[in-house]
């Protein structure tokens, strides 16, 4: 019997500070054993437990895409005991990864559809994985238009700034970047909350469109009516939720929404499905 609580050992290959306040860092890990890398087969929208020996574990969305061979990336917000310890670790340090967990985005069911991707804050981390996956040359042609609305509190809090610049210039993807506020008079993107910017910039549903939403609960709450106004049916709105998790395999009980467990049955649900469950997210 496999032990689902036992992590794979990994080394920290690279650490990149993402934000001006240094609260978010992206960690690139390499598996120590090749067999573990093969076993850790994942899709965008899934998450994993980052396991710091003698300190604890935390669930974090996978930021890399499976097309990025040999590594796996996680962007981590420094907020508690484990994340603070992790932020102080160095390149070459050994730790663990347990997963992959959850269902991820069913991208293969969305081929030939127009995609609207909406993200806020550091929840954008799993959407990076999705965008990288979708922008692969052999994948991009399988989809219609791709629009991305991404917001952060201020310009310094935007993640993956080099890649954002690149995606803004790249054909095949329409980027709509926004910040809640900025003092920069030359700020080239939007100012305002994500739901409002989505209402202004996101394309209306053609009836063949799917929206993928990932962000804090308050952003999800205010984005729902905007998507309804744009004509997205609840069946075509995918939400990635962030309930508290400990085991990641549906056994510890804490991430339930009704009888569903976010870690095992989610974190991705259609809004139509969530409408039938207690709104505990």
Partner 1 sequence: MIIIKKTELARAMARAQDTYILSGPVETFHGHTFRHLEPGQTPDLSYQHTLVSPKAVVFPPSDPLLTFSGNDWTGPDLAGLPPQAAVGIRPYDAKALHLLKYNFDTPEYKDPFFLSRFENLTLVGLAENQPDPANFSTSCGTGPFDETGLDMLLVDLGDALAGKILTDKGEAFARAAGLVPIPAEKKTAVASTIAELKTRAEKSMTSPREFGSLDPVSTLDLYEQADWEALAFGCINCNTCTFVCPTCWCFDIQDEARGQKGVRLKLWDSCMSALYSAHASGHNPRQQGWQRFRNRFMHKLKYFADKYGAGPMCVGCGRCIRLCPAGIDIRTIHQALSRLEAVT
Residue numbers at the binding site for partner 1 (CB under 8 A): 1-7, 9, 53-58, 77, 79-80, 83, 93-96, 216-217, 242-244, 246-247, 249-259, 264, 276-278, 280-281
CB of 231 to partner 1, least distance (A): 26
Q: Which CB atom, from 53 or from 172, has the smaller least distance to partner 1?
A: 53
Question: Please, are residues 145 and 203 in contact by the beta-carbon 8 Å criterion?
Answer: yes
Q: Which CB atom, from 4 or from 225, has the smaller least distance to partner 1?
A: 4
Q: Which CB atom, from 99 or from 199, has the smaller least distance to partner 1?
A: 99
**Dihedral of the alpha carbons of 201, 65, 57, 268, in degrees to the nearest 10:** 50
Q: Which CB atom, from 5 or from 204, has the smaller least distance to partner 1?
A: 5
CB of 75 to partner 1, least distance (A): 14
CB of 94 to partner 1, least distance (A): 4
Residue from 98, 99, 94 nearest 10 by CA: 94
**What span, in angstroms and rounded, lies between the C-alpha atoms of 126 and 267?**
11
CB of 257 to partner 1, least distance (A): 8
Q: Which CB atom, from 53 or from 207, has the smaller least distance to partner 1?
A: 53
CB of 83 to partner 1, least distance (A): 8
Q: Which CB atom, from 16 or from 244, has the smaller least distance to partner 1?
A: 244
CB of 12 to partner 1, least distance (A): 11
């Amino acid at each position: 019997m496999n032990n689902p609580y036992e992590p794979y050992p990994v080394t920290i290959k690279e650490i990149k500070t993402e934000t001006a306040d240094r609260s978010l860092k992206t960690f690139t890990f390499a598996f120590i054993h090749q067999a573990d890398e093969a076993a850790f087969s994942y899709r965008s929208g899934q998450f994993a437990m980052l396991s710091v020996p003698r300190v604890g574990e935390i669930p974090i969305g996978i930021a890399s895409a499976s097309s990025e061979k040999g590594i796996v990336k996680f962007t981590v917000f420094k907020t508690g005991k484990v994340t603070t310890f992790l932020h102080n670790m160095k390149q070459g340090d050994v730790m663990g990864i347990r997963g992959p967990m959850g269902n991820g985005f069913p991208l293969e069911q969305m081929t030939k559809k127009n995609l609207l991707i909406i993200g806020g804050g550091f929840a954008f981390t799993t959407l990076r994985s999705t965008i990288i996956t979708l922008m692969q040359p052999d994948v991009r042609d399988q989809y219609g238009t791709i629009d991305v609305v991404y917001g952060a509190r201020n310009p310094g809090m935007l993640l993956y700034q080099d890649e954002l610049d690149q995606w803004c210039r790249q054909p095949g993807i329409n980027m709509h970047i926004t910040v809640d506020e900025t003092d920069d008079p030359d700020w080239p993107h939007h100012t305002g909350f994500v739901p409002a910017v989505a209402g202004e910039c996101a394309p209306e549903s053609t009836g063949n469109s799917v929206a993928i939403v990932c962000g804090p609960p308050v952003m999800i709450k205010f984005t729902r009516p905007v998507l309804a106004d744009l004509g997205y049916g609840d069946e075509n709105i995918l939400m990635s939720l962030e309930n508290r998790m400990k085991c990641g395999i549906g056994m510890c009980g804490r991430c339930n929404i009704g009888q569903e467990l976010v870690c095992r049955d989610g974190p991705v649900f259609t809004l139509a499905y969530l409408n039938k469950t207690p709104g505990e997210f």
